[in-house]
Amino acid sequence: MVTANVVPLEPEATAIDTVFEKLLSEIVSGVYPAGVRLPAERELSRQMSTSRPTLREALRRLNEWNLVEPRRGSGIVVRPYRDWSIEVIAAYMRYGKPQAMQPTLGRILIDMFAMRRAVVLEVIRLTAGRIPKGGTHGAKLAMARAWSLRDQPAYAREDFEVMRHLVEAAKFTPGLWLLNRVADIWIDAASSLRFMILAPPDYVQIHTKFFDLLERGESAAAVAHMTEYLERHDNKIVETLQLMEKP
């Protein structure tokens, strides 16, 4: 479920964070479009009232996200939209001004629901038959924590913790690391739009049955159960977003 009335608290920004965010916003919003060279390091540090080491670290982060690249004889050049990394998505929600060939912000959010659901369901499919007896214990505790935080911003991260425990119990390390990345991106993007992800009313019942199916070794039924649950609840939100997209 999604509502738009609570903004999660953010940690205090460092000088590097501030410079990084400023440059990030200017690139994503089109102040510096694709193919444009950023001002020389000395000039850019002067414009941003920051030290050159701080600026270099901010530029290094931008390079990690495929937003810019150093080119011999050309300095730091902004890369095209199609090359950007998935980590940019929250900033795109905050600052993006989509061009004619780019999706709207609402379309991106709808697609994020689909991406999150696809990843989670595929991880469930790959791990459901590998969870040992008693392997759902940590997930059950995480579910209880998530439910206790169901009307708070921290719910979303605890909800991902349920799946992390299951994947860890199955010893599926690539899936665990993938979930970590998806969780960070999803929560960051939702926060950037001042959305709060809330637990649906049947959260506990659905997960309790899911755990029971896993403990009984009924992996196919467990996958089908969670597929129906995620599609049903995500579709309700997507329908609302689609209505918002209409002119």
CA triplet 32, 59, 13: central angle to 5 degrees?
100
Q: Which residue segments constitute the domains of the chain, with CATH numbers given?
A: 15-88 (1.10.10.10), 105-245 (1.20.120.530)
For residue 197, list its beta bridge partners: 2
Residue 192: pLDDT band (50, 70, 90) is low
* 139 in Cβ contact with 162 (< 8 Å): yes
Name the burial class of residue 72, with classes exposed (0-12), middle (13-18) and buried (19+) by CB atoms within 10 angstroms of its CB.
exposed
* 80 in Cβ contact with 35 (< 8 Å): yes
Which amino acid belongs to residue 65? W
Q: What does residue 90 show for φ and ψ, rounded to 5 degrees?
A: -65, -40
Q: Looking at residues 73-89, what average pLDDT do you find?
A: 91
Q: Where are the alpha helices (DSSP H) in 149-218?
A: 155-169, 173-192, 203-215
Question: Can you give the pTM of this predicted structure?
Answer: 0.76
Residues near 17 by Cβ (< 8 Å), separated by ≥ 6? none
Q: What does residue 141 show for φ and ψ, rounded to 5 degrees?
A: -65, -40
Tell me what pLDDT residue 9 has.
Answer: 38
pLDDT digits (tens, 9 = 90+) for 200-210: 999 999 999 99
pLDDT digits (tens, 9 = 90+) for 21-66: 999 999 999 999 999 999 999 999 999 999 999 999 999 999 999 9
- Pick the closest to residue 166 from 205, 123, 202, 206 (CA basis): 123
Cα(55)–Cα(23) distance, rounded to whole angstroms?
A: 10
pLDDT digits (tens, 9 = 90+) for 157-176: 899 999 999 999 999 999 99
